[in-house]
Every structure is written in structure tokens, then in C-alpha cells.
Structure 1
Amino acid sequence: MELVSPAGNVEKLSYAYAYGANAAYIGLKRFSLRVKADNFYDDEYKTVNNLKNQYPGKKLFCALNISFHNADIDNFLSEIDYFKSYPFDAFIVQDIGMVRTIQKHFPNASLHLSTQANCINREAVKMYRDLGFCRVVLGREASLTEIAEIKDAVPDMELEVFVHGAMCIAYSGRCLMSAYMNGRSANAGFCSHSCRWDYSLVQSGSLALEEQKRPGEYFPIFEGENFTALLSSKDLCMIDKLDDLKKAGADSLKIEGRMKSLYYTAIVTRAYRKAIDSLEGRISAAEAAPFIEDLYKTSHRAFGTGFYYGKENANETVSGETTSEYDMAGTIVKKLNAAEREKIFCEASRTAAEAERSLDGMHPEARKAREKDLELHPEKIPHFIEADEKRHLYEYKPANQTRSGTELEALSPDCAALKIPPDTYCFVDPETGKILDAVHHNTPSLLFTSADLQDGAIIRVRAQREG
């Protein structure tokens, strides 16, 4: 089975490929249902083309899944030459009006039907096949039984299904709440996630909801047969049920989350990669287990199995914030070579000697005062790295503030978690070789450690939560 992962920007695309996705889906500015994701624009197509060359055989899908107004079609056509710069293997569309346009301008790209089209029956799949689609991303309301029936009826159509991520309480994600309450249409990519807000249950003749920041504005609750569906749904997780999806006829498994973090993209992709490899006999269940276990350490709401086994699980709602056991600290960009290491060590020696000369050049009274201050505040004493053949130097990209003395963990595509104790590493200023007390988001830095790490490894720390 194919694994398809989300990529909200170029960096996430790189990690989706590196951590095991067979294909990744991205959005383009103004034409994607995740407009708040970074999406892709300007000259990023050059980097995307390089990534496709770096990972031969990996596919790239374009999520062109908004509901198009006339002006949207005109805007798309006006930028058609730019879109042709991307190495797209397929377009994911829901709007039938875009079919001929895609077929005309991208004759070598496949057509995938978006889940937004809520296709959940065999006759609809046949119709889309006849229109030129080769794959249907089934509506999330389709059960395992229905998937099997569709595959039996239309065996030549590829079926893609969601296996992990946030679920929308509305039918196939066709929600009107955000547009009604906040003027931001979910079907144009501007969903404000109104279903996650804080509501009170009130009764004045009939039951209604009152949103915390909209006092006096009531939203009636309507009950269906045997259920009352309210707002925020569970997150989908099918990692322990992939065999059932395979038997039902699913060809491709999709992870939701173009707006999620790089950490989420990598860890969830890696977990499903190992689960699929175990299912298909490439690795053992024991080898896959630690990677699958790590999946539960990402941010998520309570997990469920959606509609695959019936409506009961899908109709259970949850509340509260998503939390994770870990925070992402940063990423390893690359391991420095011998010449780069030597340059850093020389600069550290030079800067240390310059600091000593500066102290020697002070007036005796000034030096005495300075030394007294350093005695009272030893944290002010500058320290510089020295050559150590047992340690490696890595270019490090911090994602969040991390203080020295914190235990780190390194993750890579084939290493579940490698602990890096505080006494085995330090952060370093790449300009001076000075040892740093802490690093901060996007501040250039180095990691000097005895741990042997892969390029692209993710560094994480245990989350420190208030309360």
C-alpha cells in the first residue's frame, strides 16, 4: 500500500519523503483548503524539483481542492505557466469544473478526486472513472464494507483513504459553521475551526449552544435518529487496523495535517511507514513497535476509528487542547567535515585568546572588579570548545529555546529515539566557538556531541507544561 503524507512547506516536504512517505501532497496559494498552511509559491518549485531528484520514485500531489468561483478559475489560468514549473504527478480536485482544464494543461498528470467530493458509493466511482479520474480519495464516511464493495465493483480504480489525523464533524468536511459564525468559508480554505471553540449548553424551550465570545447568540441543537452529534470529533487513528484496510481494497493510505508541525509530519509518517513495512513482511512487528509507540507521543485528541466500523465511534465528540509528551527542539542540518571542524576549533582558540588578552589589558582596578564579578557570577565566564576526536560537530537548526543541561533525544527514519545526556553535548556559537547556555528559534548554532547523528535527525526534549 502507498503512504501519502502532508507537506505544508518545503521543509515538511523534505521530511515527509525522508521519513517514509511514498508520496506527499502540497497546496498552492489561494487554491488549497489549507490557506493558513505555508503552502508553496515564488521560486520554491526549484527546491521541490531538487527534492524529487533527491528522492527518485517519490510522488508529488497538488491539492487543488477548493470550490472554484469564476474568479478562481480565471486566477488559476493566469498563473498556469507558473504551476507547470512544479513536478506534479497528480492533482487532487473536488470541483468537476476543473477537470477539462487540468486535462488540457497537465496531460501527463493524474486526476485524483478529493475527499471533499464525498464520493462513497460504487456508481459515483464509476462516473468519476469515466471522466478520467484514476483515483478516488473516498469520503471519510465510507465503511470498510462499503470500501470492499466499491473495489469489487470498480477494480481498476485506485482507492485512497484517510488513516490518521483530525476529523471534521461535518459531512466530508463540508462545514458551514466557520462561514456562518466568522465569515471564513471552510470550503475556500479559511476554516477557523469553530467546532473547537468553547460552548455552553443552554435551554430556553429547546436545547441550544452559546459560544463563549458570542453571549446571547444561540445555535439550536438538532437530534437525529439515535444520536446527537456535537462539534469536535475524535482524531482518526488506524495504525493498528491497516490489515483490515488492505483486505477491503485500499490502495493508498493518507495522513491528514498540512498545518501540523514538521515534528508531527515526520513522526506520524515514520510510524505508518514501519506499520506498513511490518504488514507487508519487510520488517518484523517487534522492529516496528517502537516507531508505532512514538506515534502516541505527538499532539492529538482522543483517537478513534471514524466510520470504518460503524457510526458510533465517529459520533463521539471530545474537548480540550491537544498535548504531547515532547517538544521539538530542533533539527540536524548536516555533520561538519574535517575542514569545517578545524575552522571552528581555530576560531574558538583565537576568540579565547583574544578574551584573555582583553582581560590582561585592563587597568588593574578594572581587572580586579571584573574578576570579582566573574567570581560572583561564574555563568558569565566564557567557555570555548576544544578539539575532541570523540565528539562530532553538527550544524543545528533550533526550533524552540533549549537550555544546556536538558536531556535531548534524537530521532531519525530508522532510529526510534537516541538519548543524548546533558554531559555528552553542548551548544556552540558557529561564529566564535563559544559554548552557549541556550539556543533560540532559528538562531545559527552548532551541536557538539559524542552522539552519532544522521543529517535530518530531529532533536526533541520532554515537554515542560505549566501546572
Structure 2
Amino acid sequence: MIELELLAPARDLECGKAAIDHGADAVYIGAERFGARAAVGNSVSDIGELCRYAHRFAAKVYVTVNTIIYDNELDDTSSLIEQLENVGVDAVLVQDMAVMGMVKKAARHASTQTDNRTPEKVRWLRDIGFRRVVLARELSISEIAEIHDKVPDVELEVFVHGALCVAYSGLCYASQYCFNRSANRGECAQFCRLKFDLSDSSGKVIERNRHLLSLKDMNQSANLERLVDAGATSFKIEGRLKDISYVKNVTAAYSRLLDDIVCRNNGKYRRASLGHCNHGFNPELSKSFNRGFTTYFADGRQSDMASMDTPKSIGEFVGTVKEIRGTSFNVAGVSSFANGDGICFINDNHELEGFRINRVEGNRLFPLKMPCNLHAGMKLYRNNDVVFERLLSKSGQIRKIPVAMFLTSTEDGFVLNAEIKGLCAASFVLKAEHQPALTSQRENIIRQLSKLGNTVYECSEIIVPDDFDYFIPSSILSEMRRSVIDKLERMSGSFPVNGNCLDESKVSSVPEYPDAVMYNISNSRSRTFYERKGKTSLKQAFELQRDTDVPIMQCRYCLRHALGFCMKNGGKKAQWHEPLYLSLPDGRRFRLEFDCRNCQMNIYK
């Protein structure tokens, strides 16, 4: 049976617990340092508490140590990983090969920062000791299937939801070049969300003051089963900077979808953790932060990937402006509204404007302040639904693990067994005299054994033999129930089993690197790793040599295609003179290179 894992983000301990409560099979979280989101670090103590919480449900905790490391940080990194392994983390996500050798107990996962887009690269990562590879977001479903077919013995993790980087992960140096904030060090300044002018070599302006590199958010909810069929087994939600409401809603939505896939496939799949959730709300992906949705390259290159008007959340479409009258307007659509809702629209200058609703009368809305650029026919979006947010805030610990109980008699007492199906069982033996029951005790036995209260368990079944005709006081039944559940609780921490595919000694014989593009080498240990295969002409990481001539971005997304001028894909012929340039308001300019043979756009400083 194939295990399917929903992997949710955890900004902090609270978000991590909420993700588990709402259906995640695993969470990924950053430690105090060396994670690809430097702004959201967590103490080893908090990560240890999250591990204990997750492991009760056989859920796992992965920690991101996926930045490049400098020589003077190697000892601190090694110490951090040792501490993380001691508190029970199940895997460490790695970019820097110096870090890989530090991971001894936990599984090694190759971060998407290692630029994983070919079967050859995935095979190489498997051969040097990675149990799992996080694939590039840009891959199509057919490309994922090809990787699985050619390298079937490695776990494949794919992104299914959330923000998209316009460049291949690990190959973006724009933030470092422009702001001295390295994306490979967890400090991305989101260069791709800025406004640019696009001009040609003659100075002709093609697009002015638009977010030309800002992409919509990924949403593969409609493609989830196809990704399962392609061989992916872990489905990752982006969002370690997102708040707890986002985590609850998006996790719950994808958890339900995975449950449906498991149910439809007659025992072929199972969820990777225990328990089921009873949500106090109906998950709706459009109600959480989003810039509009795209399936990106799931089915090849699409024309509508970018969010050029705004890099901010627009939320869900709720209707169009029908008529404006004084300080109010009415909406054509079926959505209902509430006081305090946040509404936004794209004005005629391609800019996002927003306002808050002060009063609602049917489909007539009274803004707190009437926006001057609003007019009839404009599309409206809601990026803050106060009623939905209220439901999310009330949604707490809602995940329960089914437990079957069996009560039998022995020669000198009774035995109560509790079992989590297919995983573990606990017993409590009571030595006591048998007292014949004057009336049937079955209803009271079931009632007392079912009282699991605030524990993470719920009774799925209570079996009492038909000939069981003994009297057991309710207080004794409660004691037996508490004791057997306490035993299950103590056993639950050992559910996940971590460990590596290969031991460190095998890494010394590194197989040939498949496509030597860039290594992001920032320390001597990483350099030695590659030199073991005779690679002596290795460049330092971009962060250590500013005069390098590599592109500051390599993108599968292509502006020529996005604007409708890709002749290769049926676009119209452009009336400009290449090369094209992106310009920031401060005058800095960046040259575009269209590598049509590889269907790739490169951006140079």
C-alpha cells in the first residue's frame, strides 16, 4: 500500500500544531538559523515540542537547513543538526552538500534549492544518500512521471499550492545583487514582485510600470490525483510566512482531497499518518491569501501565469459592480457580504485598490470610504472574509485517532485491550473477583469505555463477548480505560521512524554530477565534496564573487510568451528590437536573454 503525505508549512509551533490538527501528515519548519526563510526561525525547544505533538498521530516533522553555509558557520550548523536530531526531527532539508554529511539520524531530503528537474539529477541525489527529492515547481506532470519511471526508488515531493518563485529555486541571485540579501541564505527581498518597465534596444517602452515577473499562486487541487498517478507521494503546501488561518484552511482543503483519493482507490493508498478531522468549516482555497491561481506548467506552458497588476492578495471573485449611487453601490452576483469584509478591484491604471465594507443591505454595499476609481462593470474580489475568518479562529484540536477496545474475562479478573488498527495495541489487566451481574451491563460498559474526553482518541468499536455477564463498577471501568489509553499515549511517540538511505561512508564515492551548472559552493567542505570526482574548476557561490557573469535569474516562465509574442507557440511577431531590458524606477537595468532551444528566459545584470 502506497502512503500519501500532505506536507504543510509551519511558521511557528502554533501553526505546526494547527497543521497537524487540520489534516497534515507532516510539517516543515525552520530552526533558529540556516533556513530558507530567515524571518521565521524557531527554537530547538519549540521544534521538540512540535515533534512530540506530531508523533502522537504518526505525523512527521521536517526541518529546513537548506541555505548555503559559510566556513565560519560549519561548526554551528553541525551543532544545530545534532540538537534537532536529539529532539526527534524526522528529516532535514538540505541544499549545501557540506550539511548533508552532518545529518546522521534523520532522513535527508534534497531541498528544491538544489534545482531538481531531471531524472539524472534525481538519480544522482539518490545515489549520494538522499531519501527524498523535492522537485522543481516548474515540472509538468508528465515530466514528474518520467522521473518516477526512471528513478522509482526515491520519494518524490511536489509543491501543490502557494506562492511561486519566477526563477528556478537555487538559481536566483537577483536579491543578492540588488539588495545584498541572498535568496540562498534565506533573505530573499522579492525582486520578482517589483514594478518594471520593459523596453527594447532602441529605447522603445513596451510595458510601463508593471509587475512583469510576479506570478500567480499555484493551485494543483484539480490535478492532485494525476500527481499521485505520476508517482509523487508527498504534496507540499508553500507558506512558512503565512498565518495560522491560511494553514488551517489550505491544509484542511487538501487533506479532504487526499482522503477522497484514498477512498476511491480501494486499498491502493493510505494516508501517511493517523486520525481523521472533523472540521468546523468548509475549506475554500480562494478565501485564503492568493494572487489568483495557476496550474503553472502542470500541462505545459500556459499563457495566464502572471499577476502583472499586483503582487498582493486579491482573494475570491465575488461579483461585478452593477450601479453606483452616492456613497454606496450594488453588486451583481450571488455572494453574501458582512460588515468588515475587505473588498478590492483592479482599477483602469492596472493598480489594486481596496476598501472595507462599513454596512451591508442585501447586495448593496456601503464602504467605509467610497473609492473614487470604482465604476460600473468592474470585477470585485474579497481578500478578507470576516465570517470565514471567525470560523477558522474557533477551529481548534479536531483530529482524533480511532481506537478499538476489547473487554474479556480471565480466570482471576479482566483484560481491556485497546488497538490502533494495524499499528499498535495496549493492554490493562485487572485482578478481581468475578461478580455475576443481575442485569445486562453491556450498555454501561460501552458508555464508560467510550468516554475518551479531551484525548486524541475516539472509540471506533467496543467488543464485549456475548456471554460476558459480570458486574464491574463504573469507577473500575473508568480506571481501566484511563490506564490503557495512557499506555497507548506513551507508545505513540515512537510511531515515526527516521533514518538515512545510505551511511556517510558511501558518500565518499560520489557518482558523476549529471549537469554541472552551478553549485552554490560557499565553504571548503562543499568544495571538497565535488573535488572528489575530479571537478577542480569550480566557481565560488555568487554571494562570494560579485563579478561573475552568470544570469541573476534562470526562469522557465518567459515574458515573450506571457505577452503573446512567442513564435514557437503560435504567438504574433514582435515589433521590437532585441535584446529587451527590464528597468527599475531607480534606473537599474537588466538584460533579457531568450534561450528558445531550452525554452528558458535568463536575466542578466
Q: TM-score by structure 1 length? A: 0.61
Q: SS where residue 88 of structure 1 aligns?
A: coil
Aligned to 1:17: 20
From 412, 423, 426, give the equivalent of 2:395: 412
Shift of 1:306: 1.5
Shift of 1:158: 0.8
Q: SS where residue 409 of structure 1 aligns?
A: helix
From 40, 43, 47, give the equivalent of 1:41: 43
Aligned to 1:276: 258
Matched residues in 2 for 1:10 and 1:60: separation? 11
Matched residues in 2 for 1:273 and 1:190: separation? 31
Shift of 1:165: 0.5
Shift of 1:27: 0.9
- Computing the radius of gyration over CA atoms, which structure comes out larger, 1 or 2? 2
Matched residues in 2 for 1:85 and 1:208: separation? 58
Aligned to 1:189: 186
Q: SS where residue 77 of structure 2 aligns?
A: helix
Aligned to 2:159: 162
Change (3 A) 1:313 1:271: farther
Matched residues in 2 for 1:110 and 1:46: separation? 16
- Residue 310 (str. 1) matches residue 300 (str. 2): yes
- Residue 27 (str. 1) matches residue 18 (str. 2): no
Change (3 A) 1:202 1:40: same
Matched residues in 1 for 2:219 and 2:389: separation? 30
Change (3 A) 1:406 1:79: closer
- Residue 134 (str. 1) matches residue 131 (str. 2): yes
Matched residues in 2 for 1:414 and 1:278: separation? 22
**CA contact 2:196–2:212 (8 Å) conserved in 1:** no
Matched residues in 2 for 1:169 and 1:177: separation? 11
Matched residues in 2 for 1:120 and 1:231: separation? 21
Q: SS where residue 221 of structure 2 aligns?
A: coil
Q: Which amino acid aligns with 1:240?
A: A
Number of equivalences: 320
Shift of 1:33: 0.5
Shift of 1:43: 3.0
Q: SS where residue 239 of structure 2 aligns?
A: coil
Matched residues in 2 for 1:207 and 1:173: separation? 33
Q: TM-score by structure 2 length? A: 0.48
Aligned to 2:171: 174
Matched residues in 2 for 1:314 and 1:162: separation? 19
Q: Which amino acid aligns with 1:76?
A: T
Shift of 1:120: 1.4
**CA contact 1:307–1:313 (8 Å) conserved in 2:** no
Change (3 A) 1:196 1:290: farther
- Residue 322 (str. 1) matches residue 325 (str. 2): no
Matched residues in 1 for 2:198 and 2:115: separation? 31
**CA contact 1:33–1:66 (8 Å) conserved in 2:** yes
**CA contact 1:3–1:22 (8 Å) conserved in 2:** yes
Query: Could you list the runs of 5+ residues in structure 1 that have no partner in the other structure?
Result: 213-220, 222-228, 330-402, 416-453, 457-467
Q: 1:13-412 residue pairs with structure 2 within 5 A?
A: 13-37=16-40, 39-41=41-43, 43-53=45-55, 55-102=56-103, 106-107=104-105, 109-172=106-169, 174-201=171-198, 205-206=202-203, 230-281=212-263, 294-313=284-303, 316-320=306-310, 321-324=312-315, 408-409=390-391, 412=395
Change (3 A) 1:151 1:313: farther
Q: SS where residue 31 of structure 2 aligns?
A: coil
From 5, 20, 29, give the equivalent of 1:2: 5
Shift of 1:192: 1.2
Matched residues in 2 for 1:209 and 1:62: separation? 44
**CA contact 1:15–1:266 (8 Å) conserved in 2:** yes
Q: Which amino acid aligns with 1:129?
A: R
**CA contact 1:274–1:291 (8 Å) conserved in 2:** no
Change (3 A) 1:49 1:162: closer
**CA contact 2:114–2:170 (8 Å) conserved in 1:** no
Q: SS where residue 281 of structure 1 aligns?
A: helix
Matched residues in 1 for 2:250 and 2:110: separation? 24
Shift of 1:56: 2.8
**CA contact 2:114–2:169 (8 Å) conserved in 1:** yes
Give CA-to-partner distance per residue, 1:156-177, whole Å, 9 cap, x none: 1111100000000112253222
Shift of 1:126: 1.5
Matched residues in 1 for 2:152 and 2:296: separation? 24
Matched residues in 2 for 1:292 and 1:116: separation? 34
Let me know the Cα RMSD of the aligned residues.
Answer: 3.7
Shift of 1:312: 2.6
Matched residues in 2 for 1:30 and 1:231: separation? 29
Aligned to 2:331: none
**CA contact 1:304–1:313 (8 Å) conserved in 2:** no
**CA contact 2:50–2:61 (8 Å) conserved in 1:** no
Matched residues in 2 for 1:127 and 1:166: separation? 28
Q: Which amino acid aligns with 2:395?
A: S
- In terms of fraction of residues, the more helix-rich structure is 1
Q: Which amino acid aligns with 2:91?
A: A
Give CA-to-partner distance per residue, 1:222-281, whole Å, 9 cap, x none: xxxxxxx94111110000111111111111100000001111111000000001111221
**CA contact 1:20–1:413 (8 Å) conserved in 2:** no
**CA contact 2:51–2:60 (8 Å) conserved in 1:** no
Query: Could you list the runs of 5+ residues in structure 2 that have no partner in the other structure?
Result: 266-276, 317-336, 341-385, 399-453, 457-605
Matched residues in 2 for 1:209 and 1:67: separation? 37
Give CA-to-partner distance per residue, 1:342-398, whole Å, 9 cap, x none: xxxxxxxxxxxxxxxxxxxxxxxxxxxxxxxxxxxxxxxxxxxxxxxxxxxxxxxxx
Matched residues in 2 for 1:56 and 1:293: separation? 22
Matched residues in 1 for 2:215 and 2:230: separation? 24
Shift of 1:42: 5.6
**CA contact 1:23–1:60 (8 Å) conserved in 2:** yes
Give CA-to-partner distance per residue, 1:195-236, whole Å, 9 cap, x none: 212334456724679998xxxxxxxx9xxxxxxx94111110
**CA contact 1:112–1:133 (8 Å) conserved in 2:** yes
**CA contact 2:292–2:314 (8 Å) conserved in 1:** no
Shift of 1:95: 1.6
Q: SS where residue 30 of structure 1 aligns?
A: coil
Q: SS where residue 102 of structure 2 aligns?
A: helix
**CA contact 2:64–2:94 (8 Å) conserved in 1:** yes
**CA contact 2:280–2:395 (8 Å) conserved in 1:** no
**CA contact 1:45–1:85 (8 Å) conserved in 2:** no
% identity of equivalent residues: 36
